[in-house]
Amino acid sequence: MLCRKLLASVRSVRSELIYQNVRTGAHFTYIPQTPNPSLGETSKLNMFQSINNAMDIAMEKDPSTVLFGEDVAFGGVFRCSLGLQDKYGSDRVFNTPLTEQGIIGFGIGVAAAGTTAIAEIQFADYIYPGFDQLVNEAAKYRYRSGNEFNCGGLTVRAPWGAVGHGALYHSQSPEAFFAHVPGLKVVIPRGPTQAKGLLLSCIRDQNPCIFFEPKILYRMAAEEVPVNDYTLPLSTAEVVREGTDVTMIGWGTVVHVLLEVAQMAHEQMGVNCEVIDLQTIMPYDSATIEKSVKKTGKCMVVHEAPLTQGFGAEIAARLQEECFLHLEAPIQRVTGWDTPFAYIYEPFYLPDKWRCYETVKKLVEYM
């Protein structure tokens, strides 16, 4: 008993230190979204609050919903589950042992039994011990039974991407690993409004979903978020800025980098860039990006993950197949490097606005 109390104390202290150490190391300017009047009354929320709000709504409307993971009972290291155990009790919001394989395996089991399961992995970097459970069990559960049983009520949440000081074990973007697996949906929001609507869609979707949350946006991204229960469609990309000259495709944090680059390109070169937020990595909305590239003839794909075998390679290959006769320049990728994520060299690792801007110039000047 003493050992268990000591372990719990150490974990709580560790989580509190991580929380206190979260600070903005932003390499971009966050641009709030204009609220959609059709979604009704709004309230100003940052991204971790909007995620909390989405889980609150899900738990209130579906009594079978449970939330579990390391330290979620007191709110988690980023406070996304703050207050939910007080509201719904320890039977529905509870801590787990420090074992990602166990968290996901348990989630598969309770989802297969008919429960709506929200599993939190404390950092996306630590999802790898549960990789086998996700790709060999959760993804195949429905297929192997001929749809007689499934674990479609499982959503796995995880903080994702660069945060300004995370170094090699707290900054990774592993979406491409899971995009290769039929049966999983992989979703990444760019801000509070998308986080709430897309998370509610994942929780209610009848397929296992992985929901990666850009942790640098938890506190720096704030906007007027609809108060009501609403969902946003999965597998639908959003054109967040229309343009005619270059298509720029990204997801999560880099969408804000691209919006800044689009403004720079317009002001300094008179180039009109179209910015697309993919939102769902798999299955992704190929129709929207193909339509855009056929219009502009030039395209770049941007992500924080390394270049080789990153998801940008899949997009480039698809566009080359479907839009070849419309392309006026080779498709460009601006990404992280093929190295472990750097600490002191993080500013050089990330696809910042200057690298992206130079790539726009390269595309525009291509002969």
Cβ-based neighbours of 78, under 8 Å, separated by 6 or more: 19, 22, 48, 159, 215, 218
**Per-residue model confidence as pLDDT tens digits over 106-152:** 999 999 999 999 999 999 999 999 999 999 999 999 999 999 999 99
Q: For the residues 238-255, what does the mean pLDDT come to?
A: 98
238, 240, 245, 247 alpha-carbon torsion, rounded to 10°: -40
User: Is 266 a catalytic site residue?
Assistant: no
Residue 18 confidence (pLDDT) above 50: no
Quick one: tokens of 351?
Answer: 């696809």
**Per-residue model confidence as pLDDT tens digits over 204-232:** 999 999 999 999 999 999 999 999 999 99
**Per-residue model confidence as pLDDT tens digits over 307-355:** 999 999 999 999 999 999 999 999 999 999 999 999 999 999 999 999 9
User: Is 100 a catalytic site residue?
Assistant: yes
Give the span between the Cα atoms of 168 and 231, in whole angstroms.
34
Measure the CA angle with vertex 214, ends 86 and 139; round to 5°: 85
In CATH, which superfamily holds the domain spanning 2-226? Thiamin diphosphate (ThDP)-binding fold, Pyr/PP domains (3.40.50.970)
Task: Give the pLDDT band of residue 7 (cuts 50, 70, 90).
Answer: very low
Which residues of the chain does CATH 3.40.50.970 include? Answer: 2-226
Find the catalytic residue in 27, 70, 170, 213. 170
CATH architecture of the region 238-365: 3-Layer(aba) Sandwich (3.40)
Compute the half-sphere exposure of residue 122: CA atoms within 13 Å on the CB side of its CA: 26
Which residues of the chain does CATH 3.40.50.920 include? Answer: 238-365
SS3 204: helix
Find the catalytic residue in 100, 137, 213, 346. 100
Cβ-based neighbours of 239, under 8 Å, separated by 6 or more: 274, 275, 276, 288, 292
Give the span between the Cα atoms of 39 and 44, in whole angstroms.
14
Q: pLDDT: is 15 or 25 the higher one?
A: 25
- Helices (H), strands (E): how many in the chain? 14, 14
The pTM assigned to this predicted structure is 0.92
Q: For the residues 265-288, what does the mean pLDDT come to?
A: 98
**Per-residue model confidence as pLDDT tens digits over 46-76:** 999 999 999 999 999 999 999 999 999 999 9
